[in-house]
């Protein structure tokens, strides 16, 4: 039986993206954030999630040129980066899908650059974001 991967389909900046489900801790409604002085523009702030400080980032401009500023009703996808939790601002959480692991392609490897994976879902090419790529600026 071929290996399968579970993806959570989200919309970021109007574009469909996917995040591996095993990296997701939970999805929460957008909450009031505490600002971080001198933080990069993509850091929206920090939040308290059951006693843990979670940095919340807006990486939508990396995956979509038409990303609008975050609105008040977005969701935050909390992802686990090992010892650190990070919140990703998303427009919508759309679906949970299971695909064959080999359906996730890495076209950047041909060009000699690191890039997130891409999977075809219906007629869309969907970028598969891994938390380590998003936070390190490779999305």
For 44-64, the pLDDT digits (tens) are 999 999 999 999 988 877 777
Give the sheet arrangement for strand 43-49, strand by strand: 24-29, 75-80, 85-90, 52-57, 43-49
Query: Residue 128: which of 5, 3, 12, 18 has the closest Cα?
Result: 18
Residue pair 9/95 in contact by the 8 Å Cβ criterion: yes
Q: Are 30 and 84 in contact (CB under 8 A)?
A: no
CATH number where 78 lies: 2.40.50.180
Question: Global pTM?
Answer: 0.83
Please give the tally of structural domains in the chain.
Answer: 1
Q: What is the pLDDT of residues 58-92, one digit of tens each?
A: 887 777 766 566 555 578 999 998 788 999 988 88
Does residue 38 carry a pLDDT above 80?
Answer: yes
Full domain range(s) for residue 37: 4-135
How many whole angstroms separate alpha carbon 119 and alpha carbon 88? 20
Q: What is the mean pLDDT of the chain?
A: 83
């Amino acid at each position: 039986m071929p290996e399968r991967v579970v993806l959570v389909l989200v919309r970021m900046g109007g574009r469909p993206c996917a995040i591996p489900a095993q990296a997701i801790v939970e999805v929460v409604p957008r909450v009031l954030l505490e600002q971080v002085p001198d933080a990069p523009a993509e850091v929206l702030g920090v939040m308290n999630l059951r006693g843990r400080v979670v940095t919340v980032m807006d990486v939508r401009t990396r995956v979509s040129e038409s990303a609008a500023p975050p609105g008040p009703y977005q969701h935050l996808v909390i992802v686990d980066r090992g010892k650190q939790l990070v919140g990703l601002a998303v427009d919508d959480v759309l679906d949970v899908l299971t695909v064959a692991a080999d359906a996730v392609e890495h076209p950047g490897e041909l060009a000699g650059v690191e890039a997130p994976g891409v999977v075809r879902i219906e007629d869309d090419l969907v970028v598969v974001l891994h938390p380590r790529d998003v936070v390190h600026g490779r999305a």
